[in-house]
Structure 1
Amino acid sequence: MIEVKPKSFESLLSEAITKAKTNNDTQLISMTEEIRKVDPVRFFASARKLSMDRVFWTSTSEQFSIAGVGNAWKVEAEENRTEVIESRWQKLLDEAIVHNPYKVPGTGLVALGGMSFDPSVRKSELWNNFSHGSFQIPILMLTRRASRYYLTTSLEVRGDDDPNELNKWVVQAKEMVMDRTEWLPDSPGINTQQEIAPGQWKDTVKHAADMIKSRDAEKIVLARELRVRLKKDASVASILKNLMAAQPNSYVFAVERDGDCFVGASPERLVKQEDEQLFSVCLAGTAPRGKTDEEDREIARQLLHDEKNRSEHDFVVKMIRKSMETCCDAVYVPDKPVIHPFKNLQHLYTPVTARLQKGYSIFDIIEKLHPTPALGGVPREKSMTYIREHEQLDRGWYGAPVGWMDSNRNGEFAVAIRSGLVQGNIVSLFAGCGVVRDSDPEAEYEETKIKFRPMLSVLED
């Protein structure tokens, strides 16, 4: 990465175009500036005027948000996805011209995107617009960190580009996305809901439980789909706004591809990187919130002592500890979980910290951790084989890593649960549960209904 200190974006353009002409190749440039307050959701909404793919990420509890539009650089991979993406990302970092005096996480060169749950599964028509792995560096990107705001402009230029024309386009595009008065419509409301093959799903749960009793596996996670028809086309910006208000302790995200948008509010961090420090979370074991404080406490107490949920949670803890220890030092995991409450649900929660060893990257951790036992099962290969052969669903990006990484060894990925795929006025919602030897199909079905609530609640009138 070539760090520069240009007088203006136009001068940076001229320098990059000259270099591209000399090398007979394209050249990526990036410039970050601090700006006055812009609401990230309104930025995302205004960006629709540019008719380009948009992306959004926020950790509301940490007052951190990224909203981007366009593709200054994009990489997609259907096979060997982490290797392909990491290789191209590293090559880009070596060659890009960057001006970012702030070094704030989430500024400068930032790639945002995600992956599918299982790249070996043939994609269904539902997920046609989403590759098994896809990341982008936005052309225009807003970063909010606490009370400070940054705008990063990135472009890939050619030797025959006109710097004046490019700069003029950038100025006009900035004016469009920085519209602080952009109106956000209310939720369109739900017209109909259609459960996709609920009877078959319950039969599969029973079949999986019977197989587990024969000791062919310990746990298998099975997901299902609920298809929602809205009264009119969805406004993804409004969904994001509602999710941020309703799920303040979650990662709220959106990744748009050719008009389709994968959006959600996940409570589950997969991994966070700050230089060599890593942070992960074991989140497995679920119960509803109580209607009163007393009922809430009693449900939490039962969850902490429930054998099925504690067993599910222990599966995740053991796997994450083992995965971290292969490429990290100083791995620390508390002995017991605690209750982590959200608006609709509460979960068993155990944090994990570690120090990344030299020679490893965040992609190595993702490869080790995904899929966690909370989304796949135990043992991993047997449970994944069962899911491929019996689950009546192409999960697409549901349950998979989604997040961001920057050029200063910062990044964060969440497990994309509590999520849905928006296609006009149709939203496909996804939820799953862990099947063990004593699982009751009806009880597991009711658990998935609870897990649909966070997304359903923001789509209703």
Structure 2
Amino acid sequence: MTFPLADATPPTLVARTTQIPDPIDLSLLVPDDVAPQDIVCWLRGGEGLIGWGRAASITTSGADRFDAATQWWQDVAASAVVRTDLDLPGTGPIAFGTFAFSRRSGQTSTLVVPEVVVGRREGRCWITQIATADRLPGTPARVERHEPRTTGETAFESGSLSRDEWAHAVAESVQRIQHGDLDKVVMARDVVARSATPIDPRRLLHRLSQTYSNTWTFAVDGMLGATPEMLLRREKGLVTSRVLAGTIRRSGDDEHDLGLAAGLARSSKDLEEHEYAVRSVAEALRPHCKSMNVPESPFVLHLPNVMHLATDVTGVLRNGTPSLALAAALHPSAAVCGTPTGMAAEVIHELERMDRGRYAGPVGWLDVDGDGEWGIALRSGMLDPEDPCRIRLFAGCGIVAGSIPEAELAESDAKLLPMRSALADD
């Protein structure tokens, strides 16, 4: 576990939440001078949270990265001074987090408490200013529109594996499944994008939130994207998890897409993949719940680029387990790792030949009561902290016995589309 010296003693936070007039587009509120790593975002359908600055943070790594972060936040929450005009999820002091997929990752995980958060929910808007007790804020932050900078021409190149090498790795994983080594494994690939000018994450967030409004557009510490998968939402004793597994690319023709959706709902390969994912989530949540509802059949979720088989698993919590601890219990689900989990993780480590970093790890936020929302960092990219013109993009596919490498490669291209399109120069 890593504890930087600045994070060793949990700070005393002072937070003030004030209701404000509707600023219309939350994705355009981040000031021009904010560093890319100090932008936080959680938006869906025009609602959610956007923030900037860094009042406090912690970095962790290794097998206990979730436990260390959870304990730190509980200590911070216990001493926080909170003044608020509203009692809505996302008001008061909150922390945004992004966590490495693997305990073996060379990338750290982090919780970030921003200095300013602007939120919208249920038709009401607010601003929260957060500071440490020894450094109280002065003049209230101004809420005004800031236009992001345009992106220069962007070139894309293969990451850890070429397209052919990745297809070969998928074929190898299919062979291992057919030999009975495991039931499912999720294979991911990376693509490196280089822009002619520094990448403005505000532009990416704005584009993603507009084009993929029914996903969760997120940003924490340079990790950003638009995920369709809600790992869990914890609110007032209820927990919900949306499971996505089984995918087909959209054709662009609505009538044809209806036929594709019907085929997806009948596909034995995709239904098998989906069943593994739902089962892994239900089994992970069951010890924390008094009662649960697990639908017998999935529905088809329509996104602009792809369609997924989806199931919403819900439960009533039996204890006060904070949302981050629940996210840790769910991670990694079969939707991003495989079945059985341990064997799938080893196959991923061997065949992907890359460090996923925070890709496919939990990303989201939580408040002082432990409520919060955590997604899976999919359809995403990681900004290079050393090179402002570089971002590493990721996509993954669930592999089962009936998977065809060429089809999985095409599916991964479809899943890269949101980030590639957001980077496009107009």
What TM-score do you get using the length of structure 1 for normalisation? Answer: 0.84
* Alignment partners' CA distance in 1, 2:12 and 2:269: 55
* Alignment partners' CA distance in 2, 1:204 and 1:402: 27
Residue type of the partner of 2:19?
Answer: E
Matched, 1:408 2:373: no
Q: Assess, with a 3 A threshold, how the Cα gap between structure 1 residues 174 and 285 changes in structure 2: closer, same or farther.
A: same
Question: Which residue of structure 2 aligns with residue 149 of structure 1?
Answer: 125
Matched, 1:42 2:17: no
1:110 deviates by: 0.4
* Alignment partners' CA distance in 2, 1:412 and 1:26: 23
Alignment partner for residue 341 of structure 1, among 261, 280, 302? 302
Matched, 1:269 2:230: yes
Alignment partner for residue 227 of structure 1, among 149, 167, 192? 192
* Alignment partners' CA distance in 1, 2:264 and 2:156: 33
Cα deviation digits, residues 208-241 of structure 1 (max 9, x gap): 1111122110111111111122232211111111
* Alignment partners' CA distance in 1, 2:156 and 2:84: 48
1:192 deviates by: 4.1
Cα deviation digits, residues 43-96 of structure 1 (max 9, x gap): 22x1x42548423333423x4221222222212211311211111111112212
The answer to which of 188-197 and 101-110 deviates more is 188-197
Matched, 1:325 2:286: yes
Matched, 1:428 2:392: yes
Q: Assess, with a 3 A threshold, how the Cα gap between structure 1 residues 51 and 444 changes in structure 2: closer, same or farther.
A: closer
* Alignment partners' CA distance in 2, 1:422 and 1:76: 17
Matched, 1:200 2:165: yes
Contact 2:67 2:325 in 1 (8 A): no
Compare the two structures and name the one with the higher helix fraction: 1
Alignment partner for residue 112 of structure 1, among 84, 93, 96? 96
Residue type of the partner of 1:401?
Answer: P
Alignment partner for residue 152 of structure 2, among 188, 213, 234? 188
1:291 deviates by: 2.7
Contact 2:42 2:219 in 1 (8 A): no
Question: Which residue of structure 1 aligns with residue 205 of structure 2?
Answer: 240
Question: Aligned runs of 1:289-368 on 2, under 5 Å?
Answer: 289-368=250-329
Secondary structure at the counterpart of residue 175 of structure 2: helix
Contact 1:54 1:67 in 2 (8 A): no
Secondary structure at the counterpart of residue 136 of structure 1: strand
Contact 1:201 1:392 in 2 (8 A): no
Alignment partner for residue 251 of structure 1, among 194, 199, 216? 216
Contact 2:324 2:370 in 1 (8 A): no
* Alignment partners' CA distance in 1, 2:249 and 2:367: 36
* Alignment partners' CA distance in 2, 1:29 and 1:364: 24
Give the paired residue count.
411
Residue type of the partner of 1:148?
Answer: R
* Alignment partners' CA distance in 1, 2:53 and 2:400: 44
Residue type of the partner of 1:335?
Answer: E
Question: Aligned runs of 1:4-83 on 2, under 5 Å?
Answer: 27-38=12-23, 39-44=25-30, 46=31, 48-51=32-35, 53-61=37-45, 63-79=46-62, 80-83=64-67
Residue type of the partner of 2:399?
Answer: V
Contact 1:56 1:65 in 2 (8 A): no
Question: Which residue of structure 1 aligns with residue 335 of structure 2?
Answer: 374
1:350 deviates by: 0.9
The answer to which of 75-84 and 25-34 deviates more is 25-34
Matched, 1:418 2:379: yes
Secondary structure at the counterpart of residue 78 of structure 2: helix
Residue type of the partner of 2:17?
Answer: T
Question: Which residue of structure 2 aligns with residue 443 of structure 1?
Answer: 407
Q: Which runs of 5+ in 2 are unaligned?
A: 1-8
Residue type of the partner of 1:251?
Answer: W
* Alignment partners' CA distance in 2, 1:52 and 1:431: 22
Contact 1:187 1:458 in 2 (8 A): no
Alignment partner for residue 456 of structure 1, among 393, 399, 420? 420
Contact 2:246 2:308 in 1 (8 A): yes
* Alignment partners' CA distance in 2, 1:312 and 1:51: 40
Q: Assess, with a 3 A threshold, how the Cα gap between structure 1 residues 237 and 146 changes in structure 2: closer, same or farther.
A: farther
Question: Which residue of structure 2 aligns with residue 20 of structure 1?
Answer: none
Alignment partner for residue 218 of structure 1, among 176, 183, 187? 183
Contact 1:53 1:71 in 2 (8 A): no
Question: In terms of Rg, which structure is larger?
Answer: 1
Contact 2:177 2:183 in 1 (8 A): yes
Cα deviation digits, residues 366-413 of structure 1 (max 9, x gap): 122111111100000110111122221111111110000012342000
Secondary structure at the counterpart of residue 150 of structure 1: strand
Question: Which residue of structure 2 aligns with residue 134 of structure 1?
Answer: 110
1:146 deviates by: 4.1
1:193 deviates by: 3.6
Question: Which residue of structure 1 aligns with residue 351 of structure 2?
Answer: 390
Alignment partner for residue 84 of structure 2, among 85, 90, 100? 100
* Alignment partners' CA distance in 1, 2:147 and 2:225: 21
Contact 1:53 1:69 in 2 (8 A): no
* Alignment partners' CA distance in 2, 1:402 and 1:55: 14
* Alignment partners' CA distance in 1, 2:85 and 2:422: 39
* Alignment partners' CA distance in 2, 1:378 and 1:192: 32
* Alignment partners' CA distance in 2, 1:280 and 1:341: 18
* Alignment partners' CA distance in 2, 1:364 and 1:50: 30
Secondary structure at the counterpart of residue 69 of structure 2: helix
